[in-house]
Copies of this chain bind each other. A is one copy, B any other.
Amino acid sequence: MSLTEEMKAVARRAKLASNKGARLATPDKNRALLAIADGILNGRDALVAANRLDVEAAEKSGLAPAMVDRLKLSPKVLETMVKGLREVAALPDPVGTVSRQWVRPNGMRVGKMRIPLGVILIIYESRPNVTVDAAALCLKAGNAVILRGGKEAIHSNQALGEIIRAALQAANLPTDLVQVLQTTDRTAMEELLKLDEEIDLVIPRGGEALIRYVAEKSRIPVIKHYKGVCHVYVDEFADVRMADDIVFNGKVQRPGVCNALETLLVNEKIAAKFLPVAAKRLHEAGVELRVCPETAKHLGGVPSKPATEDDWYAEYLELILAVRVVPSLEAAIEHIDTYGSHHTETIVTESYSRSQKFLRDVNSSCVFLNASTRFSDGFELGLGAEIGISTTKLHAYGPMGVEELTTEKFFIYGDGQIRA
**Would B366 and A410 count as touching, CB distance under 8 A?**
yes
Q: What is the chain B residue whose CB lies nearest that of A359?
A: B411
Point out the residues of chain B lying under 8 angstroms from A392, CB to CB: 200, 221
Point out the residues of chain B lying under 8 angstroms from A249, CB to CB: 418-419
Point out the residues of chain B lying under 8 angstroms from A221, CB to CB: 221, 392, 394-395
Query: A399 at the A/B interface (Cβ < 8 Å)?
Result: yes
Query: A409 at the A/B interface (Cβ < 8 Å)?
Result: yes
Query: A374 at the A/B interface (Cβ < 8 Å)?
Result: yes
**Would B418 and A200 count as touching, CB distance under 8 A?**
no
Q: What is the chain B residue whose CB lies nearest that of A241?
A: B416
**Would B418 and A374 count as touching, CB distance under 8 A?**
yes
Query: A9 at the A/B interface (Cβ < 8 Å)?
Result: no
Query: A319 at the A/B interface (Cβ < 8 Å)?
Result: no
Interface positions, chain A 74-128, Cβ under 8 Å from B, are 96, 102, 104, 108, 110, 113, 115-118
Point out the residues of chain B lying under 8 angstroms from A132, CB to CB: none
Give the copy number. 2
Query: A28 at the A/B interface (Cβ < 8 Å)?
Result: no
CB 8 Å contact bits of A353-369 with B (1 = contact, 0 = none) = 00000011101111111
Query: A272 at the A/B interface (Cβ < 8 Å)?
Result: no
> Which one, A51-59, A152-160, A164-172, A375-383, is touching chain B?
A375-383
**Would B219 and A371 count as touching, CB distance under 8 A?**
no
A366 to B242, CA, bound (A): 50
CB distance from A367 to the nearest CB of B (A): 5
CB distance from A330 to the nearest CB of B (A): 11
Query: A414 at the A/B interface (Cβ < 8 Å)?
Result: yes
Point out the residues of chain B lying under 8 angstroms from A201, CB to CB: 393-394
Q: What is the chain B residue whose CB lies nearest that of A111?
A: B359
Point out the residues of chain B lying under 8 angstroms from A328, CB to CB: none
Interface positions, chain A 307-327, Cβ under 8 Å from B, are none
Point out the residues of chain B lying under 8 angstroms from A337, CB to CB: 19
Point out the residues of chain B lying under 8 angstroms from A245, CB to CB: 416, 418
**Would A365 and B397 count as touching, CB distance under 8 A?**
no
A264 to B201, CA, bound (A): 31
Query: A278 at the A/B interface (Cβ < 8 Å)?
Result: no
CB distance from A274 to the nearest CB of B (A): 15
Query: A302 at the A/B interface (Cβ < 8 Å)?
Result: no
CB distance from A195 to the nearest CB of B (A): 13
Q: A239-B416, A419-B372 are in contact. Are A393 and B110 (CB under 8 A)?
A: no
CB distance from A216 to the nearest CB of B (A): 7
Query: A26 at the A/B interface (Cβ < 8 Å)?
Result: no
CB distance from A211 to the nearest CB of B (A): 12
Query: A23 at the A/B interface (Cβ < 8 Å)?
Result: yes
Query: A63 at the A/B interface (Cβ < 8 Å)?
Result: no
Residue among A116, A371, A398, A408 with the highest chain B CB neighbour number at 10 A: A371
CB distance from A387 to the nearest CB of B (A): 14
A104-B381, A366-B411, A372-B414 given. 19 additional CB < 8 A pairs? A104-B380, A108-B371, A108-B375, A117-B394, A118-B393, A196-B215, A200-B392, A245-B416, A253-B419, A364-B409, A368-B414, A371-B413, A371-B418, A372-B417, A374-B419, A375-B417, A375-B419, A397-B407, A399-B410
Q: Identify the A interface with B (CB < 8 A).
A: 19, 22-23, 96, 102, 104, 108, 110, 113, 115-118, 196, 200-201, 215-216, 219, 221, 239, 242, 245-246, 248-249, 253-254, 337, 359-361, 363-372, 374-376, 380-382, 392-395, 397-399, 407-419
